[in-house]
Structure 1
């Protein structure tokens, strides 16, 4: 039986230093690191139209929502697989996944960051960015068209 519980996705890797000077700052840094990891992985894998929505004061479910598209079922599946591998490689392997068998819409719940990966026609049908965004979503510069 393990005496130390495994960290959840939103907690990040276990820290040897248990400093409690400013736990909010520590949590914010973990969330930003998680967002950066996921966004860079999606960008490296040529995900299309990547959108990052800050949900900090909008929802108690998550602090961040990332939405991206893949060109095909296979591309969406590969994007999901690579994000999950990156999370696992960084000690955040407890993410929950839905939709992998069909790869029309794959949801990855990494704790404080939720990732939605779509095929373009499925994404336009559900339009979840509009549900969460009060103002224009924060688009990555590489994802915008000229």
Structure 2
């Protein structure tokens, strides 16, 4: 628990609040909605903090993030931007100096591709729809021709 004495009283910030700030910042960095329960739950297992008190009494925090990255993204650039976002947010919201932000990239993932089978099915469905349209047009043409024949007979 971090605290500060002011002339009006004491201000305390719990470790849980600092961790929540880091989690919120991480989720925002990924461009997800921080209110989304699934994103928050996953981020809780990815983001960790360690509060430390220096000899001079100042408080610092170390942030650790174990995450994954999309294939093709520059890892150093991505990690640096994440470090800056987390550091800036935690320091500006809590007033506690961030001593270290360690990012570990544990996995690389690719965007899911549309399965080839699905593409074939889609093409097949499109072909079937075209065939049905052609059949209905030819049925309409036959009906029109029959109507014309009836009119000629009359």
Superposition TM-score, scaled by structure 1 size: 0.40
Higher RCO structure, 1 or 2 (CA under 8 Å, sep 6+): 1
Superposition TM-score, scaled by structure 2 size: 0.39
Rg: which structure is higher? 2
Higher percent of residues as helix:
2
